[in-house]
């Protein structure tokens, strides 16, 4: 079994990636916020399908914003774990999560065994 990585090694490898992802999400959220306006519907000139489409688009935008918000919380928690020296280790069993799992998602908090 490979030796557990150092805190410095983990921080150097994943902090820049987490911060870049956080910035990318913030930028995309700001860009979509600029294009988002309240939908005004004129009941006489807009048919039922158009209203449904507008409401569906609004619901999809809200769901996307909820996903962004959730990911930002996960990134903030991962950065906090880096600062506390707990990053990369399973919150259930304490073992190293593993490079491949962290490469897929640096916000992972459980090893593969505990995640099952």
The whole-number pLDDT of residue 54 equals 80
How many angstroms separate the CA atoms of 81 and 11, rounded?
Answer: 10
- Nearest CA-CA partner of 7 in 98, 105, 103, 81: 81
May I ask the CATH class of domain 7-35+44-115? mainly alpha
Over range 25-32, report the average pLDDT. Answer: 82
Q: What's the whole-model pTM score?
A: 0.76
Q: How far is CA 36 from the centre of its chain?
A: 21
Please give the C-alpha separations between residue 104 and each of 20, 32, 83, 100, 116, in angstroms, as whole numbers.
Answer: 15, 26, 21, 6, 16
DSSP state of 81: H
Tens-digit pLDDT profile for residues 42-85 = 555 555 667 788 888 889 989 999 999 999 999 999 999 999 99
Continuous segment of H or E residues that includes residue 79: helix 48-84
Q: What is the pLDDT of residue 1?
A: 47
Mention every residue, 6+ apart, whose C-beta is less than 8 A from residue 15: 79, 82
pLDDT digits (tens, 9 = 90+) for 92-109: 999 999 999 999 999 999
């Amino acid at each position: 079994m490979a030796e557990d990585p150092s805190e410095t090694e983990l921080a150097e490898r994943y902090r820049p990636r987490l911060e870049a992802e956080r910035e990318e999400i913030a930028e995309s959220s700001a860009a979509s916020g600029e294009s988002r306006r309240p939908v005004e519907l004129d009941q006489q000139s807009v048919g039922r399908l158009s209203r449904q489409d507008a409401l569906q688009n609004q619901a999809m935008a809200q769901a996307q914003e909820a996903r962004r918000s959730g990911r930002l919380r996960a990134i903030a928690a991962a950065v906090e774990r880096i600062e506390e020296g707990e990053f990369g280790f399973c919150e259930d069993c304490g073992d190293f999560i593993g490079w491949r799992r962290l490469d897929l998602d640096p916000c992972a908090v459980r090893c593969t065994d505990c995640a099952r």
